[in-house]
Amino acid sequence: MTLPMTPRSVTESVRTDAPDIDCVDLVRIFRTKDVEVQALQGLTLRIQRGDMVAVIGASGSGKSTLLNVLSGLDQVSAGRATVAGHDMVTMGRAERVRFQRTSVGFVWQQTARNLLPYLTAAQNIAAVIAIAGGPRGAARARRVDELLDLLGVGDMRDRTAAEMSGGQQQRVAIAVAIANDPAVLLADEPTGELDEATSEEVLGAMRRVNEERGVTTLIVTHDATVSDQVRRTVQIRDGRTSTEVVRSTRVDELGDEYAVAEEYAVLDRVGRMQLPATFTESLDLRDRVRLTLESDHVGVRRAADKPEPTAEPAVGAER
Interface with ligand ATP by CB under 6 A: which residues? 30, 32, 37, 39, 57, 59-65, 222
Shortest Cβ 293–ligand ATP spacing (Å): 35
Between 60 and 313, name the residue whose CB sits nearer to ligand ATP: 60
- For residue 60, the partner it binds in Mg ion, ligand ATP, none, with Cβ less than 5 to 8 A by kind, is ligand ATP
> What is the distance between the alpha carbons of residues 197 and 153, in angstroms, rounded to a whole number?
17
Query: Cβ-closest residue to Mg ion?
Result: 64
Which H, E and C letters describe 28-78, residue by residue?
EEEECCCCEEEEEEEEEEEECCCCEEEEECCCCCCHHHHHHHHCCCCCCCE
- For residue 90, the partner it binds in Mg ion, ligand ATP, none, with Cβ less than 5 to 8 A by kind, is none
**Binding mask 54-93 vs Mg ion (x if CB under 5 A, - otherwise)?**
---------xx-----------------------------
Gyration radius from the chain CA atoms: 22
DSSP characters for 188-232? Answer: ESTTTTS-HHHHHHHHHHHHHHHHHH--EEEEEES-GGGGGGSSE
Between 82 and 109, name the residue whose CB sits nearer to ligand ATP: 109
- For residue 135, the partner it binds in Mg ion, ligand ATP, none, with Cβ less than 5 to 8 A by kind, is none
Shortest Cβ 64–ligand ATP spacing (Å): 3
- For residue 222, the partner it binds in Mg ion, ligand ATP, none, with Cβ less than 5 to 8 A by kind, is ligand ATP
Q: Is 225 exposed, middle or buried (0-12, 13-18, 19+ CB in 10 A)?
A: middle
Between 63 and 231, name the residue whose CB sits nearer to Mg ion: 63
> What is the distance between the alpha carbons of residues 114 and 193, in angstroms, rounded to a whole number?
13
Q: How many residues of this chain interact with Mg ion, rule: CB under 5 A?
A: 2
- For residue 204, the partner it binds in Mg ion, ligand ATP, none, with Cβ less than 5 to 8 A by kind, is none
Shortest Cβ 59–Mg ion spacing (Å): 7
Shortest Cβ 89–Mg ion spacing (Å): 22
- For residue 61, the partner it binds in ligand ATP, Mg ion, none, with Cβ less than 5 to 8 A by kind, is ligand ATP
Instruction: Tell me the β-bridge partners of 217.
Output: 52, 185
Q: For residue 188, what are the contacts with CB-CB under 8 A and spacing of at least 6?
A: 63, 64, 67, 106, 107, 108, 109, 220
Between 63 and 86, name the residue whose CB sits nearer to ligand ATP: 63
Shortest Cβ 185–Mg ion spacing (Å): 17
Between 181 and 188, name the residue whose CB sits nearer to ligand ATP: 188
Between 74 and 201, name the residue whose CB sits nearer to ligand ATP: 74
> What is the distance between the alpha carbons of residues 179 and 173, in angstroms, rounded to a whole number?
10
CA angle centred on 111, ends 106 and 113, rounded to 5°: 60
DSSP characters for 252-271? Answer: -TTS-EEEEEEEEE---TTS
Q: Do strands 184-188 and 104-107 pair parallel, antiparallel, or not at all (unpaired)?
A: parallel
Between 49 and 63, name the residue whose CB sits nearer to ligand ATP: 63
The H-assigned helical ranges of 132-165 are: 137-150
- For residue 39, the partner it binds in Mg ion, ligand ATP, none, with Cβ less than 5 to 8 A by kind, is ligand ATP
- For residue 59, the partner it binds in ligand ATP, Mg ion, none, with Cβ less than 5 to 8 A by kind, is ligand ATP
Cα diameter, the chain: 78
Shortest Cβ 110–ligand ATP spacing (Å): 11
> What is the distance between the alpha carbons of residues 300 and 292, in angstroms, rounded to a whole number?
7
Q: Footprint of Mg ion on this chain (CB under 5 A)?
A: 63-64
